[in-house]
Amino acid sequence: MQTSEMLRKICMRNLVRKYCQGLTAERKGQLQQKVVTSAVFSGKKEGYLESLSQPFLETRLKENDLNPKVLQLIRGENIKYVTPVIKYDRNGFKARERLLVLTQSSAYVVEVAKIKQKIEYSTLKGISTSNLSDGIVVIHVPEDNKQKGDVILQCEHIFEVVTKLCILANKQSLVKVVKGSLRFRVGSGKEGTMVFTVGPEPQVFKDKTGQLTVV
């Protein structure tokens, strides 16, 4: 029995080694990202299980899709990931089409040819999303004169975006999956509240109390 068990372990080890040696760099990168996604979201956010079979793309938009003025402004930084997002104003919560650009050192919120906000990963205070199936993510920034306040984004590929962001920023431990509501900084020492609820159809709106409600 001991010999049989030993041979079984050796065989299994050889099969694993053969599988690992046969992995392409792309496939290995996918698996490494999915491990992080699992650590952050498994058992915490709706839609996680359905996302397992969906491979992450290297980027949703190519560098050539960015406006030349933006490329000029962030020259010298290695662009890693670009995706369209909806950004919600911190005060009136108006929805605006933007791009989220992740480089090796910073996250940029871009409006066509303008950089609306830059968040250096070294200053990033946290990343929050809800336990429901919405695509809202809040990037928490420090209270200083360089920042207007926390960034409220809606992403179509929420698991992909948060995974890319926390890997590049090396801030996996700062990702929070919240239930019910969360607080975000508006700026000038003020805070706002975002409420998450369940309804017949997805929507994001400012309710009568002035809170941002995500259904």
For 9-37, what is each residue's pLDDT tens digit?
A: 666 676 556 655 655 777 787 888 999 99
DSSP 3-state of 140: strand
Domains along the chain with CATH numbers: 44-178 (2.30.29.30)
Residues 6+ away with beta carbon under 8 Å from 116: 87, 98, 109, 110
The whole-angstrom separation of Cα 127 and Cα 139 is 5
Residue 21's pLDDT is 61
User: Which parts of the chain sit beneath pLDDT 50?
Assistant: none
Residue 142's pLDDT is 87
Mean residue pLDDT across the chain: 89
